[in-house]
A = this chain, B = another copy of it.
Amino acid sequence: MPEDNPTTAVKRRVRRGSGRVTLADVARAAGVAQMTASRALNSPETVNPDMVERVRQAVIETGYVPNLLAGALASARSLLVAVIVPSIASTIYLEFVQSLRGALASKGYQVILGESDYEHQLEPALLDALIARRPDAIVTVGAVRSKEGRKRLLASAIPVIETWDMPAQSLDMVVGFSQPAVGRAAAEYLLGEGRRHVAIISANDDRAAMRAQGFLEAVKERDSAARVESVSIAAPSTLGEGRRALADLLSRATPPDAVFCTSDMVALGVLTEAKSRGMKVPQELAVMGYGDMNFAADTDPPLTTIRADGKVIGLQAARLIFERASKDVAERVVDVGFSIVRRASA
Protein backbone atom coordinates (compact mmCIF):
# COMPACT_ATOMS: atom_id res chain seq x y z
CA MET A 1 0.00 0.00 0.00
CA PRO A 2 1.54 3.26 -0.96
CA GLU A 3 0.03 5.03 2.00
CA ASP A 4 2.18 7.56 3.67
CA ASN A 5 2.92 6.00 6.92
CA PRO A 6 5.58 7.10 9.32
CA THR A 7 6.99 3.64 9.75
CA THR A 8 7.43 3.05 6.01
CA ALA A 9 8.76 6.54 5.51
CA VAL A 10 10.16 7.23 2.07
CA LYS A 11 13.90 7.21 2.04
CA ARG A 12 15.31 10.69 2.17
CA ARG A 13 17.23 11.75 -0.88
CA VAL A 14 19.86 13.74 0.86
CA ARG A 15 21.03 16.85 -0.78
CA ARG A 16 22.66 19.25 1.47
CA GLY A 17 22.93 22.88 0.52
CA SER A 18 26.09 24.72 -0.24
CA GLY A 19 26.66 25.33 3.42
CA ARG A 20 26.47 29.02 2.82
CA VAL A 21 24.24 31.40 4.70
CA THR A 22 20.88 31.63 2.99
CA LEU A 23 17.99 33.97 3.29
CA ALA A 24 16.27 31.41 5.48
CA ASP A 25 19.13 31.71 7.96
CA VAL A 26 18.81 35.45 7.97
CA ALA A 27 15.06 35.23 8.51
CA ARG A 28 15.55 32.84 11.37
CA ALA A 29 18.13 35.07 12.98
CA ALA A 30 15.84 38.05 12.63
CA GLY A 31 12.80 36.14 13.79
CA VAL A 32 10.72 36.90 10.72
CA ALA A 33 9.43 34.98 7.76
CA GLN A 34 11.79 34.42 4.89
CA MET A 35 9.58 36.47 2.63
CA THR A 36 9.72 39.38 5.01
CA ALA A 37 13.47 39.20 4.99
CA SER A 38 13.41 39.17 1.20
CA ARG A 39 11.21 42.23 1.12
CA ALA A 40 13.24 44.01 3.77
CA LEU A 41 16.26 43.70 1.51
CA ASN A 42 14.69 44.28 -1.88
CA SER A 43 11.86 46.66 -1.24
CA PRO A 44 12.33 48.01 2.26
CA GLU A 45 9.65 50.63 1.71
CA THR A 46 7.02 47.91 1.84
CA VAL A 47 8.10 46.66 5.22
CA ASN A 48 7.86 47.99 8.71
CA PRO A 49 11.05 49.93 9.51
CA ASP A 50 11.69 47.90 12.66
CA MET A 51 11.69 44.69 10.71
CA VAL A 52 13.96 46.18 8.12
CA GLU A 53 16.34 47.07 10.89
CA ARG A 54 16.21 43.61 12.39
CA VAL A 55 16.82 41.99 9.06
CA ARG A 56 19.72 44.28 8.28
CA GLN A 57 21.20 43.41 11.61
CA ALA A 58 20.79 39.74 10.90
CA VAL A 59 22.46 40.14 7.52
CA ILE A 60 25.50 41.62 9.19
CA GLU A 61 25.59 39.04 11.94
CA THR A 62 25.33 36.15 9.56
CA GLY A 63 27.49 37.57 6.78
CA TYR A 64 24.75 36.89 4.28
CA VAL A 65 25.40 37.57 0.61
CA PRO A 66 22.35 36.97 -1.55
CA ASN A 67 22.43 34.34 -4.24
CA LEU A 68 21.44 36.17 -7.37
CA LEU A 69 21.40 32.96 -9.33
CA ALA A 70 18.44 31.85 -7.28
CA GLY A 71 16.89 35.29 -7.26
CA ALA A 72 17.15 35.57 -11.00
CA LEU A 73 15.64 32.18 -11.55
CA ALA A 74 12.71 32.92 -9.29
CA SER A 75 12.01 36.40 -10.56
CA ALA A 76 12.96 35.97 -14.20
CA ARG A 77 15.14 39.06 -13.91
CA SER A 78 18.82 38.34 -14.06
CA LEU A 79 20.12 41.90 -13.70
CA LEU A 80 22.67 40.81 -16.24
CA VAL A 81 23.43 42.60 -19.49
CA ALA A 82 25.46 40.96 -22.21
CA VAL A 83 27.73 43.32 -24.11
CA ILE A 84 29.25 42.12 -27.34
CA VAL A 85 32.26 43.98 -28.69
CA PRO A 86 34.21 43.09 -31.81
CA SER A 87 37.44 42.82 -29.86
CA ILE A 88 38.27 43.52 -26.28
CA ALA A 89 41.64 44.79 -27.40
CA SER A 90 40.20 47.50 -29.58
CA THR A 91 40.51 50.75 -27.73
CA ILE A 92 37.72 52.53 -29.55
CA TYR A 93 34.96 50.98 -27.50
CA LEU A 94 36.63 51.19 -24.13
CA GLU A 95 34.91 54.32 -22.92
CA PHE A 96 31.66 52.97 -24.21
CA VAL A 97 31.94 49.75 -22.27
CA GLN A 98 33.13 51.63 -19.25
CA SER A 99 30.28 54.10 -19.17
CA LEU A 100 27.73 51.42 -19.95
CA ARG A 101 29.05 49.18 -17.21
CA GLY A 102 29.12 52.04 -14.74
CA ALA A 103 25.60 53.19 -15.47
CA LEU A 104 24.28 49.66 -15.26
CA ALA A 105 26.11 48.93 -12.04
CA SER A 106 24.43 51.90 -10.41
CA LYS A 107 21.15 50.04 -10.71
CA GLY A 108 22.45 46.67 -9.71
CA TYR A 109 23.05 45.29 -13.19
CA GLN A 110 26.20 43.49 -14.10
CA VAL A 111 27.91 43.09 -17.42
CA ILE A 112 28.89 39.87 -19.05
CA LEU A 113 31.31 40.19 -21.89
CA GLY A 114 31.10 38.72 -25.35
CA GLU A 115 33.58 39.09 -28.18
CA SER A 116 32.51 38.68 -31.75
CA ASP A 117 35.82 38.99 -33.59
CA TYR A 118 35.94 41.42 -36.42
CA GLU A 119 36.33 38.67 -38.90
CA HIS A 120 33.63 36.21 -38.08
CA GLN A 121 30.03 37.12 -38.20
CA LEU A 122 28.41 37.10 -34.84
CA GLU A 123 28.39 33.41 -34.22
CA PRO A 124 25.24 31.62 -33.15
CA ALA A 125 27.26 29.72 -30.58
CA LEU A 126 28.35 32.93 -28.90
CA LEU A 127 24.81 34.19 -28.90
CA ASP A 128 23.46 30.99 -27.44
CA ALA A 129 26.07 31.00 -24.73
CA LEU A 130 25.00 34.49 -23.74
CA ILE A 131 21.28 33.88 -24.07
CA ALA A 132 21.73 30.88 -21.81
CA ARG A 133 22.44 33.34 -19.02
CA ARG A 134 19.08 34.97 -19.60
CA PRO A 135 20.43 38.52 -19.62
CA ASP A 136 17.88 41.29 -19.30
CA ALA A 137 19.34 42.91 -22.38
CA ILE A 138 21.94 42.30 -25.06
CA VAL A 139 24.00 45.19 -26.34
CA THR A 140 25.99 44.73 -29.51
CA VAL A 141 28.57 46.97 -31.07
CA GLY A 142 27.42 47.22 -34.64
CA ALA A 143 24.29 45.95 -36.27
CA VAL A 144 23.50 42.28 -36.14
CA ARG A 145 23.76 41.26 -39.75
CA SER A 146 23.72 37.49 -39.84
CA LYS A 147 20.33 36.01 -40.47
CA GLU A 148 20.86 33.26 -37.95
CA GLY A 149 21.94 35.75 -35.33
CA ARG A 150 18.86 37.88 -35.83
CA LYS A 151 16.67 34.84 -35.66
CA ARG A 152 18.06 33.69 -32.36
CA LEU A 153 17.89 37.08 -30.80
CA LEU A 154 14.31 37.50 -31.89
CA ALA A 155 13.41 34.05 -30.60
CA SER A 156 15.01 34.81 -27.26
CA ALA A 157 12.66 37.74 -26.68
CA ILE A 158 15.50 39.55 -24.95
CA PRO A 159 15.71 43.30 -25.54
CA VAL A 160 18.53 44.07 -27.96
CA ILE A 161 20.38 47.33 -28.44
CA GLU A 162 22.54 47.70 -31.49
CA THR A 163 25.08 50.48 -31.10
CA TRP A 164 27.62 52.52 -33.05
CA ASP A 165 25.60 52.15 -36.18
CA MET A 166 22.27 53.12 -37.64
CA PRO A 167 21.02 49.97 -39.32
CA ALA A 168 18.21 50.31 -41.83
CA GLN A 169 16.53 47.28 -40.33
CA SER A 170 17.01 47.41 -36.63
CA LEU A 171 16.31 44.38 -34.53
CA ASP A 172 14.92 46.26 -31.59
CA MET A 173 16.60 49.36 -30.18
CA VAL A 174 19.47 51.36 -31.59
CA VAL A 175 21.91 53.89 -30.17
CA GLY A 176 24.35 55.12 -32.72
CA PHE A 177 25.02 57.31 -35.66
CA SER A 178 25.45 56.95 -39.38
CA GLN A 179 28.81 55.50 -40.27
CA PRO A 180 28.66 56.49 -43.93
CA ALA A 181 27.84 60.02 -42.81
CA VAL A 182 31.14 60.06 -40.94
CA GLY A 183 32.99 59.23 -44.13
CA ARG A 184 31.07 61.89 -46.01
CA ALA A 185 31.78 64.49 -43.39
CA ALA A 186 35.48 63.70 -43.51
CA ALA A 187 35.56 63.95 -47.28
CA GLU A 188 33.69 67.22 -47.30
CA TYR A 189 35.92 68.64 -44.63
CA LEU A 190 39.13 67.78 -46.42
CA LEU A 191 37.85 68.88 -49.79
CA GLY A 192 36.50 72.03 -48.19
CA GLU A 193 39.97 72.76 -46.90
CA GLY A 194 41.16 72.80 -50.47
CA ARG A 195 42.66 69.34 -50.62
CA ARG A 196 42.56 67.90 -54.11
CA HIS A 197 43.92 64.45 -53.87
CA VAL A 198 42.53 62.66 -50.88
CA ALA A 199 43.21 59.19 -49.57
CA ILE A 200 41.60 56.88 -47.10
CA ILE A 201 43.21 54.26 -44.93
CA SER A 202 40.53 51.91 -43.79
CA ALA A 203 40.38 48.77 -41.73
CA ASN A 204 38.44 45.88 -43.10
CA ASP A 205 35.70 45.72 -40.53
CA ASP A 206 32.02 46.41 -41.09
CA ARG A 207 31.79 49.89 -39.73
CA ALA A 208 35.09 51.10 -41.13
CA ALA A 209 33.96 49.85 -44.52
CA MET A 210 30.80 51.91 -44.24
CA ARG A 211 32.79 55.00 -43.41
CA ALA A 212 35.05 54.34 -46.36
CA GLN A 213 32.09 53.94 -48.64
CA GLY A 214 30.59 57.25 -47.50
CA PHE A 215 33.94 58.91 -47.98
CA LEU A 216 34.36 57.66 -51.52
CA GLU A 217 30.81 58.55 -52.49
CA ALA A 218 31.14 62.06 -51.18
CA VAL A 219 34.34 62.63 -53.09
CA LYS A 220 32.79 61.38 -56.31
CA GLU A 221 29.72 63.49 -55.83
CA ARG A 222 31.77 66.61 -55.48
CA ASP A 223 34.03 65.89 -58.37
CA SER A 224 33.38 62.82 -60.43
CA ALA A 225 36.85 62.99 -61.90
CA ALA A 226 38.55 63.11 -58.52
CA ARG A 227 41.12 60.48 -57.78
CA VAL A 228 40.96 58.85 -54.44
CA GLU A 229 43.67 56.67 -53.05
CA SER A 230 42.66 53.89 -50.79
CA VAL A 231 44.54 51.48 -48.55
CA SER A 232 42.98 48.65 -46.67
CA ILE A 233 44.53 47.41 -43.45
CA ALA A 234 43.76 44.62 -41.07
CA ALA A 235 41.79 45.18 -37.89
CA PRO A 236 42.68 45.88 -35.16
CA SER A 237 44.40 48.91 -36.53
CA THR A 238 47.69 49.91 -35.05
CA LEU A 239 50.21 52.68 -35.27
CA GLY A 240 52.46 50.46 -37.33
CA GLU A 241 49.73 49.79 -39.85
CA GLY A 242 49.33 53.54 -40.21
CA ARG A 243 53.02 54.04 -40.88
CA ARG A 244 53.11 51.32 -43.48
CA ALA A 245 49.93 52.52 -45.11
CA LEU A 246 51.34 56.01 -45.56
CA ALA A 247 54.54 54.57 -46.96
CA ASP A 248 52.40 52.68 -49.43
CA LEU A 249 50.47 55.80 -50.41
CA LEU A 250 53.62 57.85 -50.84
CA SER A 251 55.09 55.27 -53.13
CA ARG A 252 52.26 55.67 -55.59
CA ALA A 253 52.35 57.71 -58.77
CA THR A 254 50.60 60.72 -57.32
CA PRO A 255 50.86 60.90 -53.55
CA PRO A 256 47.84 62.33 -51.73
CA ASP A 257 47.71 65.66 -49.95
CA ALA A 258 45.21 64.46 -47.35
CA VAL A 259 44.45 61.21 -45.55
CA PHE A 260 41.44 60.12 -43.59
CA CYS A 261 42.24 57.27 -41.25
CA THR A 262 40.09 54.53 -39.86
CA SER A 263 41.19 55.35 -36.34
CA ASP A 264 43.24 57.80 -34.39
CA MET A 265 45.89 55.20 -33.76
CA VAL A 266 46.36 54.77 -37.48
CA ALA A 267 46.41 58.53 -37.87
CA LEU A 268 49.14 58.70 -35.25
CA GLY A 269 51.10 56.21 -37.33
CA VAL A 270 50.63 58.41 -40.36
CA LEU A 271 51.82 61.40 -38.39
CA THR A 272 54.83 59.44 -37.20
CA GLU A 273 55.77 58.28 -40.67
CA ALA A 274 55.25 61.72 -42.15
CA LYS A 275 57.46 63.31 -39.55
CA SER A 276 60.16 60.69 -39.90
CA ARG A 277 60.25 61.57 -43.59
CA GLY A 278 60.41 65.25 -42.85
CA MET A 279 57.01 65.97 -44.35
CA LYS A 280 55.14 68.94 -43.02
CA VAL A 281 51.71 68.28 -41.52
CA PRO A 282 49.31 69.75 -42.40
CA GLN A 283 51.02 71.78 -45.14
CA GLU A 284 52.09 68.88 -47.31
CA LEU A 285 49.72 66.35 -45.88
CA ALA A 286 46.49 66.81 -43.97
CA VAL A 287 45.77 63.99 -41.54
CA MET A 288 42.41 63.21 -40.09
CA GLY A 289 41.52 60.50 -37.62
CA TYR A 290 38.45 58.93 -36.15
CA GLY A 291 37.67 58.33 -32.53
CA ASP A 292 39.06 61.35 -30.70
CA MET A 293 40.98 59.12 -28.38
CA ASN A 294 42.56 60.54 -25.30
CA PHE A 295 45.86 61.18 -27.02
CA ALA A 296 44.45 63.01 -30.05
CA ALA A 297 44.74 66.48 -28.55
CA ASP A 298 48.37 65.92 -27.58
CA THR A 299 49.95 64.59 -30.72
CA ASP A 300 52.29 66.81 -32.66
CA PRO A 301 50.55 68.42 -34.40
CA PRO A 302 47.28 67.89 -32.55
CA LEU A 303 45.04 65.57 -34.48
CA THR A 304 41.93 66.67 -36.30
CA THR A 305 39.51 63.84 -35.84
CA ILE A 306 35.92 62.75 -35.76
CA ARG A 307 34.45 62.30 -32.39
CA ALA A 308 31.70 59.86 -31.62
CA ASP A 309 31.07 59.91 -27.94
CA GLY A 310 31.28 56.37 -26.63
CA LYS A 311 30.45 57.58 -23.18
CA VAL A 312 27.15 58.97 -24.39
CA ILE A 313 26.34 55.84 -26.33
CA GLY A 314 26.91 53.77 -23.24
CA LEU A 315 24.77 56.04 -21.10
CA GLN A 316 21.95 56.12 -23.61
CA ALA A 317 22.02 52.36 -23.98
CA ALA A 318 21.78 52.01 -20.22
CA ARG A 319 18.86 54.40 -20.16
CA LEU A 320 16.98 52.40 -22.75
CA ILE A 321 17.58 49.25 -20.75
CA PHE A 322 16.20 50.85 -17.62
CA GLU A 323 13.17 52.19 -19.40
CA ARG A 324 12.43 48.91 -21.02
CA ALA A 325 12.77 47.14 -17.70
CA SER A 326 10.33 49.49 -16.05
CA LYS A 327 7.93 48.93 -18.90
CA ASP A 328 8.02 52.54 -19.95
CA VAL A 329 7.95 52.41 -23.68
CA ALA A 330 11.57 52.99 -24.49
CA GLU A 331 12.51 54.85 -27.61
CA ARG A 332 13.71 52.57 -30.27
CA VAL A 333 16.28 54.69 -32.01
CA VAL A 334 18.66 57.25 -30.58
CA ASP A 335 20.97 59.04 -32.98
CA VAL A 336 23.82 60.46 -30.95
CA GLY A 337 25.51 61.99 -33.96
CA PHE A 338 29.20 62.79 -34.24
CA SER A 339 31.30 65.87 -34.62
CA ILE A 340 34.46 66.96 -36.31
CA VAL A 341 37.07 68.06 -33.81
CA ARG A 342 39.19 70.54 -35.64
CA ARG A 343 42.79 70.63 -34.57
CA ALA A 344 46.01 71.41 -36.38
CA SER A 345 46.64 68.29 -38.41
CA ALA A 346 44.00 69.02 -41.05
Interface residues of A (CB under 8 A from B): 18, 20, 63, 65-70, 72-73, 76, 78, 80, 87-89, 91, 94-95, 97-98, 101-102, 105, 108, 110-113, 115, 128-134, 152, 155-157, 236, 238-240, 243, 265, 268-269, 272, 275-276, 294-295, 297-300
Contact = CB atoms under 8 A, between A and B. Distances in A.
Given A129-B110, A295-B238, A295-B265, A89 B94 contact: yes
Contact of A78 (B20, B69, B89, B105): B69
B65 A128 contact: yes
Contact of A101 (B88, B97, B105, B300): B88
A113 B101 contact: yes
A326 B102 CA distance: 34
A276 B63 CA distance: 58
The complex is assembled from copies of this chain, and their number is 2
A239 B155 contact: no
B238 A298 contact: yes
A156 B113 contact: no
Given A113-B101, A295-B265, A156 B94 contact: no
Contact of A275 (B72, B128, B300): B300
